Amino acid sequence: MSDLGIEFEEEYDGSEFHIRSRKILGEKTTPTMINFLIDRGVVKTEKQALGLSILTIVIFLSISVFIIRSSLVNDTPLEVVDKYGRTIPFDEFVTQINEGTF
């Protein structure tokens, strides 16, 4: 293959890990949340800040899934109210629909 003279400019500050999420937009390369965690002394490196962010996301997603699943699980059977106001168990309703008697 021929050399097309393409060069890439990449800034490398010597660290093994560096986030470059906004480099394309011309903004600073480290996200604000990661700078915040480092400035407050919660973490020491960007890698630790990213790990803490991912861990926080996983914890909140787990809590959300737990809350949603626990709210969906209830012991009350599903019922359908027909046009005459009668309450029909859902399984019987499905059977009636399949037989064409509803």
Each of the 102 residues of the chain gets a pLDDT tens digit; together they read 556 777 666 665 555 666 555 556 666 677 888 889 999 999 999 899 999 999 999 999 999 999 888 777 766 778 888 888 888 888 888 898 888 876
Phi and psi angles of residue 62, each rounded to the nearest 5 degrees, phi first: -65, -45
Burial 57-90 (b: 16+ CB within 10 A, else e): eeeeeeeeeeeeeeeeeeeeeeeeeeeeeeebee
CA distance 37 to 34: 5
Q: How far apart are CA 45 and CA 51, in angstroms?
A: 10
Tokens of 57: 């996301």
